């Protein structure tokens, strides 16, 4: 058995854009998205209902389609990070990475020695892979969420931490930390988000953020290469268009 490649990580390291979609909670939904061509599936374990018991089937569905399984955990806890990897995740998204120490903790939990302190266990991704412990670090992607004004202040130091593959600017919490809860479009919020992304890119690190159809090109021009979107807005937009077109024909 060969160790499965981490599609998102491979594309980002090659300088190519990687596209990740979220808003799914069932393996059948992942199968439905498989043919569309996304590189990864965001599995929501902080605000959503994804638990450890679900991860085997969810990550297997991602494996079938060659998509990276990215799991957002609900806290920066080393044990939680490596247990989630043990359950089959190929990438971990960690919230509220506000300091260099926070970033170092992500790496400690997500990488085997000598890079980190991940507990020695053969993950579901490692079944049948004889050299898994020696190679797993190369196919594991760690994503730090930059989502507080404190993280913006400490960003230069955070960016110095090796082992983190994506520094992801999360807009909603960022807005709340600036006193503009629910108002991501506020000029102060947008200025700080764009400044964070530009600093990440300027440091030679990989930037990611939440994007929609109307702003993804702007973020790409800034230098973002890890693009995350959700199925929810697409479903809502499609429903509006569908009903509007039907009503045009109603006499």
- Whole-model pTM? 0.96
The separation between CA 88 and the C-alpha centre of its own chain, rounded to angstroms, equals: 15
Check if the beta carbon of residue 167 is closer than 8 Å to that of residue 144: yes
Q: What are the b/e assignments for 27-46, b being 16+ CB within 10 Å?
A: beebeebbeeebbbbbbbbe
What gap in Å lies between CA 131 and CA 128, rounded to an integer?
A: 9
Catalytic residues: 47
What is the number of residues in the chain?
Answer: 251
Give 34's DSSP letter.
G
Per residue in 98-134, pLDDT (tens digit) is 999 999 999 999 999 999 999 999 999 999 999 999 9
By mean pLDDT, which of 22-26, 86-90, 165-169 is the weakest? 22-26
Longest Cα–Cα distance in the chain: 71
Question: Could you tell me which of 72, 45, 79 has the C-alpha nearest to residue 144?
Answer: 72
Structure tokens given for 46: 């902080």
β-strands 141-146, 166-169 pairing: parallel
pLDDT at 148 over 80: yes
- For position 1, what pLDDT does the model report? 87
Question: Could you tell me which of 104, 109, 181, 111 has the C-alpha nearest to residue 147?
Answer: 181
Structure tokens given for 243: 């009903």
Looking at residues 232-245, what average pLDDT do you find? 93
When the pLDDT of each residue in the chain is averaged and rounded to a whole number, the result is 96
What gap in Å lies between CA 84 and CA 119, rounded to an integer?
A: 12
- For position 95, what pLDDT does the model report? 98
What gap in Å lies between CA 81 and CA 32, rounded to an integer?
A: 28
Per residue in 67-103, pLDDT (tens digit) is 999 999 999 999 999 999 999 999 999 999 999 999 9
- For position 251, what pLDDT does the model report? 75
Check if the beta carbon of residue 140 is closer than 8 Å to that of residue 154: no
- Check the CA dihedral 20-23-26-31 and report its sign: negative
């Amino acid at each position: 058995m060969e160790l499965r490649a981490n599609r998102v990580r491979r594309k980002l390291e090659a300088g190519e854009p990687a596209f990740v979609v979220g808003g799914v909670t069932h393996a059948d939904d992942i199968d439905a998205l498989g043919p569309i061509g996304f590189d990864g599936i965001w599995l929501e374990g902080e605000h959503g209902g994804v638990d450890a018991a679900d991860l085997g089937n969810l990550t297997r569905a991602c494996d079938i389609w060659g998509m990276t399984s990215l799991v957002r955990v609900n806290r920066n806890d080393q044990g939680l990070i490596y247990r989630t990897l043990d359950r089959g995740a190929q990438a971990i998204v960690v919230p509220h990475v506000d300091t260099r120490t926070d970033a170092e903790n992500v790496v400690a939990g997500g990488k085997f020695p000598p890079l980190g302190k991940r507990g020695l266990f053969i993950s579901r991704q490692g079944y049948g892979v004889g050299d898994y412990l020696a190679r797993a670090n190369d196919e594991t992607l760690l994503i730090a969420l930059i989502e507080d004004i404190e993280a913006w202040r400490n960003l230069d130091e955070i960016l110095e931490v090796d082992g983190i593959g994506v520094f992801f600017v999360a807009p909603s919490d960022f807005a709340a930390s600036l006193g503009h809860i629910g108002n991501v479009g506020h000029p102060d919020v947008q200025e700080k988000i764009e400044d964070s992304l530009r600093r990440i890119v300027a440091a030679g690190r990989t930037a990611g953020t939440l994007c929609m159809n109307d702003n993804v090109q702007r973020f790409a021009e800034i230098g973002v290469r890890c693009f995350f979107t959700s199925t929810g807005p697409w479903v809502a937009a499609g429903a509006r268009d569908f009903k509007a077109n039907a009503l045009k024909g109603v006499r």
